[in-house]
Amino acid sequence: MESLLAGKTAVVYGPGAIGGAVARAFVREGAQVFVAGRGEAALKQLADEQLADEQPADEQPADGAGPGPGSLVTAQVDALDREAVEAFVDSVVERTGRLDVSFCATSTHRPGGEQGAALGELSFDDFALPIIDFTRAQFTTANAAAARMVPAGRGVIMMATAVPSRIPYPYTAGFGPAWAAVEAFSRTLAAEVGPAGVRVLCLHSAGSPEARASIESTLATDLPDLPGRAEGWNRRSAARSLLDRGPSLAQVGDMAAFLASERADATTAALVDLTGGMAAH
């Protein structure tokens, strides 16, 4: 059976937990994957992990029979920098001759965000920080992809959002509004580029247990009330989950690979649920 993304070229922004899982799934399904990120250490870690996962040449499928691995290349690029993103995408298209998939999983990297704080405890700048950074990154990367995909008449643009965009969660600062804005942007973009054959989707996920470090990086760790508030999040999530578990990172990657493939060709402007049913009621 042919790999889902054989012969495809994909760019992934963000080498962290979700971006890394999606990149590895794309490689496994045969795509040439180019991962962009700000930090050299995270990019090197992802590249090293991918190298360790690769099969020896004598164990790879012959003559393209069955699923076979693609390739992964990393580059230091800030998704908030439009000129850097445009140059990065140009280099990918020059190297491969095409761009089929763009997935952005970046978050804010500036100090602030302050999840765990009550809205009344925040400055406006801290509240607005994730809204500005998330929407800027998605706007910049999605439009760079669309500019190459629309003339080609094909392509898939994917974004990542999380449960607080749809479900009231206290103490999530500006993150819920940020993800809600990304979802609205994705639907508008889907309406504009759909007639040209380009699909736009959001992966809507609950927190994966393996992504704890990424979640902790957004917290206002100096708040004495943070442990109690975090426990409140856990209780709320447990009460809403229909599967009693969040998605694994591998499951997020597998869903992204399927959605990026031609098997999902009738799906666009969709919020794809990876919350274990939390968003369904």
The reply to whether 45 falls in a domain is yes
Would you state the pLDDT for residue 222?
A: 83
Would you state the pLDDT for residue 27?
A: 97
**153 phi and psi angles, rounded to 5 deg:** 75, 25
Would you state the pLDDT for residue 230?
A: 86
d(CA 64, CA 1): 9
Would you state the pLDDT for residue 270?
A: 97
Q: Which domain holds residue 106?
A: 9-53+67-280
Would you state the pLDDT for residue 111?
A: 65
Q: CATH code at 129?
A: 3.40.50.720
In the predicted model, residues of the chain with pLDDT beneath 70 are 1, 55-68, 109-113, 280-281
Would you state the pLDDT for residue 250?
A: 95
Residues 6+ apart with CB under 8 A from 95: none
The reply to whether 21 falls in a domain is yes
Would you state the pLDDT for residue 207?
A: 77
Give kind and range of the element (H or E) at residue 105: none
The reply to whether 61 falls in a domain is no
d(CA 218, CA 61): 42
The reply to whether 59 falls in a domain is no
**Residue given tokens 């794809």 in the structure block:** 272
Q: What does the pLDDT look like over 85-132, one tens digit per residue?
A: 999 999 999 999 999 999 999 877 666 668 899 999 999 999 999 999
The reply to whether 75 falls in a domain is yes
**Residue whose C-alpha is closest to residue 190's, from 150, 148, 151:** 150
Give the total number of structural domains in the chain. 1
